[in-house]
Structure 1
Amino acid sequence: MLKVAWGITGCGDRIEEVVNIMIEMKNKYNLNVDVYVSKNGEFVLRWYKLFDKVKKEFDKVWVEKGPNSPFLPGKLQTGKYDLFIIAPATANTTAKIAHGIADTLITNSVAQGMKARVPTYIYPPDNKEGVVETLLPNGKTLKLYIRKVDVENVKKLEEMEGIEVLYSPEEIKKVIERHIDEKNSRGDQ
């Protein structure tokens, strides 16, 4: 069984789509998914009325208390998880990871997981310059103007060993299926 650590930050862009994909993949492949939510991630999930849904669908949901609490960094380093997915990732989280700052649960977990060579996948919606439209919790659309600096930080992530940048929520499915195929080909259970 594939063991996934899923980190959620305070990014609302495409959050509902990401949550639905993670639920779909968990149910389709009987994944073991533990959810780690940043402090602002909890706020955003509640704003989008998704926090209760996430808690209902996933057995283990933890909210950040500090950079090491809950102890996700240690679990990544000791091999509890096959992969670490951060989706969606705020521009702030992306910038911190790109510049080696590890002062939150998610950023510290990425840094520590990379030291143990845990495959890490990050979906930062702010990944290309220009105007994007996102849905607000009330169903209205909001135009966002993606900054050059945010895109540059995504490019820095691409250059980091052990991190794969995802450019859409749909790519999460491909990553999970690829890891399941690899596990199956090795005969792992």
Structure 2
Amino acid sequence: MKRIAWGITGSGDLIKETYDIMVDIKKKSNIEIMVFLSKEGETVMKWYHMWNDIQKDFPNFKTDAGPNSPFIAGPLQVGHYDALIIAPTTANTVAKIVYGIADTLVTNAVAQTAKGSTPIYILPVDQKRGTVKTYSPEGREMVLKMREVDVTNTEKLAQMENISILERPDDLYDLLGISKDQ
């Protein structure tokens, strides 16, 4: 059985798509998924009216009480999990990872996991220059312009050791060996 640690940051962009895919993967496989949320991840789940869903679909999820609480960095570092997935990932979290700041549960998990051999997969929301379409919690379409600094940080993240970039939520199917149409 595969064990995956899935970290959720405060990104509203791609949260619904990513969440639906992870629920689908959970239903189609025997992959054990341990979910943990940054403080902002918890805020966004509530803002997007998904708080009840996460409690139902992933009842043993963990929330950020500090950079090392709950203690998940150790099990990630020693290989208790087959992979660490951070999806979706805010520009703030990407910047902190790129510059070695490990002051939240998610950024500390990445920093400590990178010291071991557990692979890290990150889905940044700010990947390409230009604009992207996303949706508000009410489902209204919005167009956001990507900032140069955020895209540059994503490019730096892609060069870091033991970190692979996911381009879109659907990449999770291939990563975990699950058929989308199963």
Q: TM-score range by the shorter chain?
A: over 0.9
CA offsets 1:61-94 (integer angstroms, 9 cap, x no match): 0110000001111121232211000000000000
Cα distance in structure 2, aligned partners of 1:102 and 1:81: 20
CA shift for structure 1 position 101: 1.0
Q: Structure 1 regions of 5+ residues with no counterpart? A: 179-189
The DSSP-based 3-state class of the residue aligned with 2:94 is helix
2:112 corresponds to which residue? 112
1:183 corresponds to which residue? none
2:124 corresponds to which residue? 124
The DSSP-based 3-state class of the residue aligned with 1:144 is strand
2:13 is equivalent to residue 13 of structure 1: yes
1:74 corresponds to which residue? 74
Cα distance in structure 2, aligned partners of 1:56 and 1:119: 28
**Matched residues, number:** 178
Deviating above 2 A after TM superposition, structure 1's stretches of 4 or more consecutive aligned residues are none
TM-score w.r.t. the length of structure 2 is 0.95
1:84 corresponds to which residue? 84
Contact 2:127–2:154 (Cα < 8 Å) also in 1:
yes
1:175 corresponds to which residue? 175
2:156 corresponds to which residue? 156
CA shift for structure 1 position 143: 1.4
Give the structure with the higher percent helix. Answer: 1
The CA RMSD measured in Å over matched residues stands at: 1.0
The DSSP-based 3-state class of the residue aligned with 2:40 is helix
CA shift for structure 1 position 60: 1.8
Contact 2:4–2:34 (Cα < 8 Å) also in 1:
yes
The DSSP-based 3-state class of the residue aligned with 1:85 is strand
CA shift for structure 1 position 125: 1.2
Cα distance in structure 2, aligned partners of 1:59 and 1:33: 11
Q: Structure 2 regions of 5+ residues with no counterpart? A: none
CA offsets 1:84-133 (integer angstroms, 9 cap, x no match): 00000000000111111111110110010011111000001110111111
The DSSP-based 3-state class of the residue aligned with 1:123 is strand
Identity %: 48
Cα distance in structure 2, aligned partners of 1:118 and 1:103: 20
Cα distance in structure 1, aligned partners of 2:151 and 2:117: 25
2:40 corresponds to which residue? 40
